[in-house]
Chains A and B, each alone.
Chain A
């Protein structure tokens, strides 16, 4: 069994390595995105202020406090004050405001936008009590890099396995393999392992390349980050196998893969945080593997979280892998019909 898996694994790796266009695409695209977006968004902070609000109401009522009526401020209701204070320290929120029992706020004195948000608050409510928070700003590029790497991982796993298996089925290669002692389990394992190795190799190369040139934040342990990458890849590969289990047409496969990847790209927080999005949308996003990958990766890279801090994401990814694998294995079909 091991020999058969290794044979398929080796053949698939050779195919990928010798397909220079795919190889270049897989490595160059994340570099271009990280550098491009990093340059575009590192020129200055957004002109819009983001103020977190500790309030019972799920949405901020402009009648409840004069500060809420200020234009060009995005008020984001939050429940976890400790988490919100940490984000103020990291300049992810410009200010945290609590209306009751006593109007008070948390601001990082080093933050330029925090300073302006504070001035606007004090105009609206001079009696508000100040609590200073310290911490260094999280650069956009630090926040972006996990998103780009995760997105690249998503495309590499879904298209690298999903699309390829459908192509093999359509052109008859799967049928030819079916005529050998190779089992579906062995074939799927080899495909997944091949892609896992290649994706991790490419991601590692890109990660250290970006770190070298942009000095991105890496506060946590590399082992924890590698574990997130491993489990994240596994969940995405298993999802790819579900997609590829029955589809016969590359066109249909491309459509279904796009349907899967676009929501993850938009909702999982690749480029921008969903902090201000409605709760139901955030819940929906949490059901996507990429959301879990990015939450865990950012917690490790930016906040220095360890295994204990990201276990909910790791458990979610493990659960998704198990479910997707079971469904994919049950649906898998060798033959083009």
Chain B
């Protein structure tokens, strides 16, 4: 059976700036219809990596490929990009802004679909400078979708949005995924990556340190779950349990592979269980374990 050519592929990308190596030997292969997430803290190299894949930056060495070919006109015609921050032309309405970008492509699909998809119908005649944060992100997504792209790049698309706007944005991305579009995104929100991405790569210091489906990665690294207790309820007599104190949240987290046995020990020590919470391992735990650093630092 012949393996299909990845829609986006990168071979041993290196990007050196005068004072730092931002990307250090990154290789990736992303299949058609996949939602791929690049995770990492600020400065990990994920934006530089995605900008190389977008053809915005030329790497010091290595090659980004689109359908097995170096990035060229075909790629620019088929790619949709939402940058982390983008200024738009001043004094244009939402409709004029979308039309402006639509006319930059040879394919000219109607703007009606992206307007509907991004819920911009009631904002079309509004000055684009006067949109709220969430509305503006929807407009930027509409611009990225205006050419009906095969591959969509989203660089930290929900940074700075309130939780409601963020969830609305996830719904939008989910709709796009269902149309078999390839999505490559960066984020430092673990929940976002977990909800949206079929596969993730965790980056640190310009390198990919783990890659795979979120659940598979967690399953591969962890068999335990976490029990959370208020710090005040945790007696010194249980210090032999594997635990971690979260001072800023005044919580103690106990890692265990046998929840029943651990809860039994807690009850034997008359630890009140009213505030006990059990949570599975998450990507933030994984990142901390792999790098020794908090994800959002």
Do A and B truly interact? yes
Instruction: Give residues in A with beta carbon < 8 Å to B.
Output: 3-4, 6-8, 10-12, 14-15, 18-19, 168, 171-173, 175-182, 335
- Flag if B96 contacts A177 (CB, 8 Å): no
Q: How far is the CA of A14 from the CA of B90 in the complex (A)?
A: 9
- Whether the pair B56, A175 counts as a contact (CB closer than 8 A) is yes
Bound-complex Cα distance A28 to B56 (A): 41
The interface residues of chain A lying within 8 Å CB-to-CB of B81 are 176, 179
Asked whether A180 lies within 8 Å of B76 as measured between CB atoms, the reply is yes
A3 surroundings in chain B (CB, below 8 A): 103
C-beta contact mask, B93-104 vs A, less than 8 Å → 1, else 0?
000100111011
Q: Contacts A19-B90, A179-B81, A181-B73 hold; do A14 and B96 have CB atoms under 8 A apart?
A: yes
Besides A7-B100, A15-B91, A181-B105, 5 more A-B contacts (Cβ < 8 Å) are: A15-B90, A176-B88, A179-B55, A179-B81, A181-B104
**Partner pick for A178 among B56, B73, B91, B143, CB 8 A cutoff:** B56
- Of B88, B90, B147, the most chain A CB neighbours within 10 A belong to B90
B79 at the binding interface (Cβ < 8 Å): yes
Q: By CB atoms of chain B within 10 A, which of A6, A11, A168 has the most?
A: A11
Return the contact of B83 from the options A10, A15, A175 (Cβ within 8 A).
A175
- Is B239 engaged at the interface, CB distance under 8 Å to the other chain? no
CA of A12 to CA of B90, assembled, Å: 9
A173 lies within 8 A of B87 (CB): yes
16 contacts between A and B (CB under 8 A): A7-B103, A7-B104, A8-B100, A10-B100, A11-B96, A14-B96, A15-B92, A172-B87, A173-B88, A175-B56, A176-B86, A176-B87, A179-B56, A181-B104, A181-B106, A335-B57
Report the bound CA distance from A60 to B145 in whole Å.
Answer: 74
Interface size on B, residues (CB 8 A): 28
Measured in the bound complex, the distance between the Cα atoms of B90 and A168 in whole Å is: 10
Bound: A171/B86 CA distance, A:
7
Q: How many angstroms between the C-alpha atoms of A15 and B129 in the bound complex?
A: 12
CB < 8 Å neighbour of A179 from B54, B89, B92, B99: B54
Instruction: Name B17's closest neighbour in chain A (CB-CB).
Output: A337
B: residues with CB less than 8 A from A are: 54-57, 73, 76-77, 79, 81, 83, 85-92, 96, 99-101, 103-106, 143, 147
In Å, the complex CA distance between A60 and B109 comes to 75
A15 touches B76 (CB 8 A): no
Closest to A4 in B: B104
- How many A-B contacts if CB must be within 8 Å? 68
> How far, in angstroms, from A10 to B76 measured CA to CA in the complex?
22
Say what secondary structure dominates the interface of chain B: loop
Task: In the A-B complex, list the 7 residue pairs whose CB atoms are closest, starting with the nearest.
Answer: A171-B87, A7-B103, A18-B91, A179-B81, A180-B104, A173-B87, A15-B91
Interface contact A335-B56, CB-CB below 8 Å: yes
B86 touches A172 (CB 8 A): yes
The docked-state distance in angstroms from the alpha carbon of A80 to that of B56 is 58
Tell me the complex Cα distance, A139–B171, Å: 72
B86–A173 CB distance below 8 A:
yes
Q: Which residue of A lies closest to B81 (CB)?
A: A179
- Which residue of A has the minimal Cβ distance to B103? A7
Q: Return chain B residues, CB-CB under 8 Å to A171.
A: 87
Closest to B146 in A: A180
Q: Which residues of B contact A177 (CB under 8 A)?
A: 104
Q: Which residues of A contact B96 (CB under 8 A)?
A: 11, 14
Q: Smallest distance from the beta carbon of B278 to chain A beta carbons, Å?
A: 44
**Residue of B with least CB distance to A187:** B104
CB distance from B184 to the nearest CB of A (A): 13
- List chain B residues, Cβ under 8 A from A335: 56-57
- What's the Cα separation between A153 and B91 when bound, in Å? 23
B91 touches A6 (CB 8 A): no
Cα-based distance from A7 to B147 in the complex (angstroms):
15
Contact B101 A180 (CB under 8 A): yes
Closest residue to A182 on the B side, CB-wise? Answer: B104
B56 and A15: CB pair below 8 A?
A: no
Q: Which of B56, B76, B87, B89 contacts A181 (CB 8 A)?
A: B76
Q: Are A19 and B56 in contact (CB under 8 A)?
A: no
Contacts of A168 in B (CB 8 A): 87
A180, B105: Cβ atoms closer than 8 Å: yes
| Interchain CA distance A7-B92 in the complex, whole Å | 12
Report the separation of the CA atoms of residues A188 and B153 in the bound assembly, to the nearest whole angstrom.
26
Rounded to whole Å, the gap between the CB of B127 and the closest CB of chain A is 9
- Report the separation of the CA atoms of residues A15 and B55 in the bound assembly, to the nearest whole angstrom: 28
Q: Report the bound CA distance from A173 to B104 in whole Å.
A: 14
Question: What is the CA–CA distance of A180 and B106 in the complex, to the nearest angstrom?
Answer: 10
How far is it, in angstroms, between the C-alpha of A335 and the C-alpha of B54 when the chains are bound? 13
| Residues of A with C-beta under 8 A to B54 | 179
In angstroms, Cα B100 to Cα A173, docked, is 13
**A25: shortest Cβ distance to chain B, in Å?**
15
Complex: chain A residue closest to B100, CB-CB: A11
Partner pick for B89 among A4, A15, A178, CB 8 A cutoff: A15
A28 to B117, CA, bound (A): 45
Minimum CB–CB distance for A195 against chain B, Å = 15
Bound: A174/B92 CA distance, A: 16
Question: Does the CB pair B89–A11 fall under 8 Å?
Answer: yes
CB distance B91 to A14 under 8 Å?
yes
Q: Which of B81, B83, B100, B106 has the most CB of A within 10 A?
A: B100
* A172→B92 contact, CB < 8 A: no
Task: Report the nearest A residue to B108, measured CB to CB.
Answer: A3
| A6-B103 CB under 8 A given contacts A172-B86, A176-B83, A180-B76 | yes
A176 partner residues in chain B, CB cutoff 8 A: 81, 83, 86-88, 143
Chain B CB within 10 Å — which of A19, A179, A182 has the most?
A179
Residues on A with C-beta less than 8 A from B143 are 176
* Bound-state Cα–Cα, A11 to B79, Å: 22
- Cβ contacts under 8 Å, A18 to chain B: 91
B90 touches A179 (CB 8 A): no
- Contacts A14-B92, A179-B81, A180-B76 given: A4-B103 contact, CB under 8 Å? yes
